[in-house]
Amino acid sequence: MRTSKFFKTGLLLFVASLGLISCGDDDKEPEIVVDPVSENVEYYIEGKVVADNAALDGVSVTAGEATATTDENGQYSLTVKDKKTYTVSFAKEGDIELFLTHQ
């Protein structure tokens, strides 16, 4: 029984010493990490170009530096980097160029 008590006391001291060793001064200081995703935010301007209730394909759509062309359903999607007001322009060869402000 004396051996068992000695063993338990030794084990308790060993566990306590491990706890003290892990609390040393060599621990790293917390550091501030910049979220890499926050720098890669994208915004989208999407829509459909129609005339007389018919979808128009092949229309060039521009907002800032982003450009797209409408598909056979008249739909387009532009990817822009900043959340701001854009002037969106639509042009099709032989047609009048239109301007729309989109927020």
Give residue 69's pLDDT.
95
Per-position b or e across 32-68, b if 16+ CB within 10 A of its CB: eeeeeeeeeeeeebebebeeeeeebeebebebeebeb
Give residue 98's pLDDT.
54
Question: How many helices (H) and strands (E) in the chain?
Answer: 1, 8
Give residue 21's pLDDT.
59
Q: What is the mean pLDDT of each run of 10 residues along the chain (103 residues)?
A: 69 67 66 81 91 88 94 94 89 64 45
Give residue 9's pLDDT.
75
Give residue 103's pLDDT.
43
Give residue 71's pLDDT.
95
